[in-house]
Amino acid sequence: MQPSHNSTTSYIHIFSFLLLALSVWMSYSGTLHSSWQFDDMPNIVNNEKVQISSFTWEEIKKTFHAHGSGKITRAASFFSFALNYLMTGKDPVSYHITNITIHIVCAFFVYLVFLQILEILHPGWRCRFFSLRDIALLGAWLWAMHPIHTQAVTYIVQRMASMAAMFYMIAFYCYLHFRRNPKSLQGTIFLLAGLVFWIIALFSKENTVLLPFVIFVSEVAFFQLSSQKIRKYFLYTLVIVVVVSLCAFLAMRGNVVSYTEYLYRDRPFTMWERLITEPIILFRYLGLLLYPIADFLSLESDIVASRGLLDPPVTLLANISSLALISLGIGYLRKYPLLCFAVLFFFINHLVESSFIGLELYFEHRNYLPSMFLYLVVAFYFAKACNYYLTRSKLFMSGVLLVAGTVTLMSEGSATYLRNDVWETEFSLLTEVAAKNPYNIRPIISLGAKSIARGKLDDALEYLKKSEKLYKQNPDRYQKEWGGLLYYNAGIIHLRRRNYEKAVQLLLKSAEFNDKSMETHANLAYLYYKLEDYENATKAFINAIQIRPDKSDLYNMFGRMLFDENKLDLAVDVLQNGIDVEPTREIQMNLVATYLRQGNVSKAKQVFYSIPYDNKDIIYLLYRLDLFGHDNPAVLQRIVQILISRKIDYCTWRNKIIKNDHPGLIYPERFASFEGDLRASYIKELAGRQEQIGKKIKSAERCDVQSEEIGDEG
């Protein structure tokens, strides 16, 4: 019995999926232990809203606002991060596995969409050497294995791009399936499913809003609409895109004008300059997609926005060429549907991130979705060329093509695997970016920041001096925010070296470039506090709190300083505001200390009762002694046990408590009144342990004697 057509098709699809999965997995297998990078930190590692503790509605709901705008932005992407966190916490391995899996699934649906389109365009395809499935698989493989996509797959946070593209292609596949069976129940189900997947894609990343335009172009290219229907469908499409875009924007971002102004606020280019520069970047993308030179692949670039259509002259050429390609794509869409659709697909899907919106100029991950159909074109015409020469027995040319194709496939996989080595650590990635883009100061500043974190302050200072030199040579080239980062990190170096006055000067300079940095104002407040310049410290604390009123540690440090100034009523108000934001143990104990200095013991006890009991927290136990009696032997004994088990030097610890100059925590001021009892308990405990040790030593020394006596008796 011959297998049915459906079962044969299923086997072919399974084979295609396994081939894509195996190829992708092999190329990305070295990335599983790659570290967290840059935007991973605020979006995942330090984002409490994705760090859920259970799979409940209350926990899931908080992930919807995890993007920090207060709106429901990219909720599907952040929900996926939350699921990873629920499974493995902050271990990046599961996140990488998920990213690779998304890429595999996306590649499979790219193959299915390619196959649908080829079957629509070439229903009677007869080719001796290449089937339509072969072409679709080759195109999907070329796309999936391209090294430019490492940024969208290996960079964990860019799951937003790959996940959005995956749901986009599933939605497009569903639409094509419906379009080929429009009057069947199955077709209707696929249409509804496509709508659902498109909505999920929108909540993964906003650039997928343009799918209706792509569907409209596919209708013209693949289904040969009449001129009347083209005009009608275009109006429908335009209305859908505009309405959905506005609704999505209002739901996710808020006011369109204010958000656009915000994006351009610190950019070193205007909207017009960005618009005329993007065609240059799009042609650079096309060059990398068709010929991925390793020297040009980079997380960032040092591209500068054009100042006019003739500044530099290539700007005008790039703009004219882009318009020409788009015009030719529209004009010849019916005559050369596959090629023209690929061109229009590329430009349409770059519209959101490569037009008037004030994003940064260049990122490789933006090509993940727009590049797809270019590889279907390459695969299709490669197959036609091979078939042409093979059917005519032109063995030399067919051999050249097949060898070139094999080398391309092998080199793509190898290039992707090797490209992923760069993503092993932030430092390795930054080093590469700085080397490939010598006029971009941001990676150099970031290398300085990483060197500070490593404790290599001299290396950090050299990086920052280099970036300062570049900045001074051409300040108009860079964002003001980068200047702020430059001097902020220099200030932190001098803070670490306890050169407080120099640190203040540098942080003030940082604030001139970026006065919206909470970290800059918070560190200034700390420095002024250390210099006992309480007036300026107060101003800096207020600035920091105005920027981030949700940071309870700012209120805590501010209250701590007011306590030192003996402004107790104000300290109580500030600390209470901090508790309203987040009732941390540190801020609660500081409020207890403030009430005690005021002499308000009942209020102090009331706050202390709200702190969860913890017999491992030594400061908590000291406050318990202070509030409820100095002669509590159980509490004294517990503190002594902690000191001994943690091998804490008693004198050093005692002097630290008495000095009481911790910037974030107030120690009990009446410690001296019961320190004698505590010390006596400590000495007694050590003496008891010493006696026990002495007995054990003597017992051990007697082991041989006892053994001999036992032996003699025997």
User: How many Å apart are CA 574 and CA 594, to the nearest integer?
Assistant: 11
Consecutive H or E run containing 502: helix 500-513
Mean pLDDT of 67-86: 84
User: What pLDDT is recorded for position 309?
Assistant: 93
Bridge partners, residue 476, by sequence: none
pLDDT above 60 (res 706): no
The 10 Å Cβ neighbour count of residue 417 is: 18
pLDDT above 50 (res 3): no
Mean pLDDT of 556-585: 94
User: How many Å apart are CA 333 and CA 672, to the nearest integer?
Assistant: 87
Better-scored residue on pLDDT, 359 or 228: 359
pLDDT above 90 (res 224): no
**Tokens 């086997």 label which residue?**
11
pLDDT above 80 (res 449): yes
Per-residue pLDDT tens for 394-446? Answer: 878 878 888 888 888 888 888 899 999 999 888 899 999 999 999 999 999 99
User: How many Å apart are CA 675 and CA 639, to the nearest integer?
Assistant: 11
Six-digit token string for 178: 């419906």
User: What pLDDT is recorded for position 249?
Assistant: 63
Report percent pLDDT > 70 for the chain: 94
Give the ranges where 295-336 is alpha helix by DSSP (H).
314-331
User: How many Å apart are CA 156 and CA 38, to the nearest integer?
Assistant: 10
Give the ranges where 350-456 is alpha helix by DSSP (H).
372-391, 395-419, 426-436, 441-453
User: What pLDDT is recorded for position 630?
Assistant: 65
Lowest mean pLDDT among 99-103, 367-371, 659-663: 659-663
The mean pLDDT value of the chain amounts to 89
The CA–CA distances, whole Å, from 268 to 271, 289, 296, 478 equal: 10, 28, 23, 6
pLDDT above 80 (res 9): no
pLDDT above 70 (res 5): no
User: What pLDDT is recorded for position 1?
Assistant: 37
DSSP 3-state of 311: strand
Better-scored residue on pLDDT, 11 or 51: 51
Lowest mean pLDDT among 6-10, 89-93, 459-463: 6-10
Cβ within 8 Å of residue 421, ≥6 positions away? 30, 428
User: How many Å apart are CA 268 and CA 513, to the nearest integer?
Assistant: 13
Lowest mean pLDDT among 261-265, 346-350, 480-484: 261-265
User: What pLDDT is recorded for position 313?
Assistant: 94
The 10 Å Cβ neighbour count of residue 292 is: 19
Better-scored residue on pLDDT, 711 or 293: 293
User: How many Å apart are CA 239 and CA 249, to the nearest integer?
Assistant: 15
Per-residue pLDDT tens for 456-476? Answer: 999 999 999 999 999 999 888
pLDDT above 80 (res 254): no
Torsion of CA 520, 523, 528, 530, to 10 degrees: -170
Bridge partners, residue 311, by sequence: 308
Report percent pLDDT > 90 for the chain: 61
> Are the C-beta atoms of residues 617 and 585 closer than 8 Å to each other?
yes
Per-residue pLDDT tens for 124-170? Answer: 887 777 889 999 999 999 999 999 999 999 999 999 999 999 999 99
User: What pLDDT is recorded for position 62?
Assistant: 87
Lowest mean pLDDT among 523-537, 611-625, 685-699: 685-699
Closest among 604, 640, 607 to 621, alpha carbons compared: 640
pLDDT-derived band at 714 (thresholds 50, 70, 90) equals very low
Eight-state DSSP code of residue 38: T
User: What pLDDT is recorded for position 398?
Assistant: 79
pLDDT-derived band at 252 (thresholds 50, 70, 90) equals low
How many residues does this entry show for the chain?
714
User: What pLDDT is recorded for position 687?
Assistant: 87
Six-digit token string for 605: 């006890």
pLDDT above 80 (res 24): yes
> Which DSSP string do the residues of 545-557 spell out, in sequence order?
HHH-TT-HHHHHH
DSSP percent split of the chain into helix, strand, coil, nearest 5: 75, 0, 25
Single-letter code of the amino acid located at 232: K
User: What pLDDT is recorded for position 248?
Assistant: 63
User: What pLDDT is recorded for position 2?
Assistant: 42
User: How many Å apart are CA 368 and CA 167, to the nearest integer?
Assistant: 13
User: What pLDDT is recorded for position 78?
Assistant: 93
Write down the domain spans for the chain. Answer: 5-36+90-414, 616-714
Better-scored residue on pLDDT, 290 or 343: 343
Mean pLDDT of 326-354: 94
User: What pLDDT is recorded for position 145?
Assistant: 95
pLDDT-derived band at 300 (thresholds 50, 70, 90) equals confident
The 10 Å Cβ neighbour count of residue 533 is: 15
Better-scored residue on pLDDT, 8 or 189: 189
